[in-house]
Structure 1
């Protein structure tokens, strides 16, 4: 999958996420993070919780079970997960979104490989 995001986004620091075969760019605020993500393979998301999260789907689909309710979100859909609400899901290959985390330290930046 080619990179969906233009240069101003792809020049942001890369987010270090516990997945493989993805691109994720991190815009860091004082009290929040915005992550521009796209996935090249299916990913299962185990149940977890954290601060509130809002996302908008740019491409593909994601299946989210939020507080026991399962929904599928596709291009143009928005979702919101309230603080401390348990959720899980499946990201399908080709999925891309912009996600706002009301948490300044949800993800770290990837360390640059030394040459």
Structure 2
């Protein structure tokens, strides 16, 4: 898959995610991170929780089970996950989003 993000994003540090076949870039704040992510294959997301998170879908589809409720999000949709809320899901190949984590150390750089 061709990279969806423009050069001003791809010039950011690469984010180190626990998945394969993705492109991800990190904008680091003092108390938060913004991750620009794009996936080339389907990914299963095991159940977990962390600080609050908000994302907006740029391309493709993601299924999220948030606090036991399953929803599907596609291009133009946004989702919100509160602090400490259990969630899991599936990312489908071709998915891209921008995700804000209210946590400065959610992911590291490569």
TM-score range, shorter chain: over 0.9
5+ long unaligned stretches in structure 2: none
CA RMSD of aligned residues (A): 0.2
For residues 15-30 of structure 1, what are the structure 2 equivalents within 5 Å?
Answer: 15-30=15-30
- Aligned residue number for residue 54 of structure 2: 54
Residue 81 (str. 1) matches residue 81 (str. 2): yes
What residue is the counterpart of 2:44 in the other structure?
44
1:4 is matched with 4
Could you list the structure 1 runs, at least 4 aligned residues long, displaced by more than 3 angstroms after superposition: none
**Counterpart-to-counterpart distance in 1, 2:12 and 2:89:** 27
- Using the TM superposition, give the Cα deviation of residue 80 of structure 1 relative to its aligned residue in structure 2, in angstroms: 0.1
Q: Distance between the aligned counterparts of 1:66 and 1:87, measured in 2?
A: 4
TM-score (norm 2): 1.00
| CA apart distance, 1:27 | 0.1
Q: How many residues align?
A: 110
